[in-house]
Amino acid sequence: MSGNVELLNETLAGARAEGRAALVAYLPAGFPTVDGGIEAVKAAFDGGADVVEVGLPHSDPVLDGPVIQTADDIALRGGVRIKDVMRTVREAHAATGKPVLVMTYWNPIDRYGIERFTAELAEAGGAGCILPDLPVQESAVWREHADKHGLATVFVVAPSSQDARLATITAAGSGFVYAASLMGVTGTRESVGEQAQDLVRRTRATTDLPVCVGLGVSNAKQAAEVAGFADGVIVGSAFVKLMLDADDEAAGLAAVRALAGDLAAGVRAHVS
C-alpha cells in the first residue's frame, strides 16, 4: 500500500490556491492516553487544521521545549510504543481523510528498522515523516524506502543554515520544508521573530516546495503574521499546553478544537 504524499501535496496546494497558508498542528501520540491522543488529532482537524503531525514521544527530545517534554513523559509512562503511533495515524486519517505525518527523532526508526517503519506508516495511511535530527547526507537509505512507500520526507531548516546548506536540504526533501523560526527548542513565544521571514525568503530561493514555519505560534494574531509570509503555520506547544492545563480530557479536547478554529481564522486573515 502506498502512503499519502500526494494527499499532502494536494492539501498544501489547495491552501495556496485559496490564497492562504495551511494550518499544521502537532500533537504527541499517547498523550494523555493513546485513545485520548487520537481524539486530540481528530479535534485539531475538526477545528480547522489542514495537516497534523503526530509526535513519536522520546525520552530525550532535545529539540522540544518543556511543554512537549512533559507530554512525552506522560505518554512514555503510559507505555506508548511505535505501534500506538501507527494506530494514531491510521485512526485519525481514516476518520478525517486528511494528511497525517509522523514527527520523530531518528533513533527509534533506526532501532525499529527503516523498511518496517516506512511500510507500516504507509499501510496506516500516513503522508510522510518529519526527521529533525537526520542529517541530509545520511538520509539516502531512508529516502529510498520512503519514496518506495509514497511517503514525504520533511527536513528542518534553521536561521543558522547557510544558503548552500539550504539548497542541499531542500533538494533532498519532499512534501514541504519545516522552517524553525527561532533558534533553539520549541515552545510558544510572545512574538514571531524577523528571523523567520528571512529564513523563508532564503529557503524559497532554493526550492518550489511549500515552506512551513514552526516553533512559536500560539494564537490567531501570530498565525496571521506568519501566514503573511509562509506557506504553512505549524503549531504544537500551544495545543499541548491546553491539554496539560485542562481539568479533564473532554475540556482539553474542546480547547484544542477551539484553538484550531482560531488559528484557522488567523491563516485566512489575508484572504480577500
Catalytic residues: 53, 64
Instruction: Give the whole-angstrom CA distance, residue 158 versus residue 260.
Output: 25
Cα separation, 209 vs 62, in Å, equals 26
Question: What strands lie across the sheet with 51-55, from one edge to the other?
Answer: 152-154, 128-130, 100-103, 51-55, 22-28, 232-235, 211-214, 177-180, 156-157
Q: Is 235 helix (H, G, I), strand (E, B) or coil?
A: strand
Alpha-carbon dihedral sign for residues 17, 178, 44, 93? positive
SS3 186: coil
Q: Is the peptide bond before 32 cis (omega within 30 degrees of 0)?
A: yes
> Would you say 180 and 215 are in contact if contact means Cβ atoms under 8 Å apart?
yes
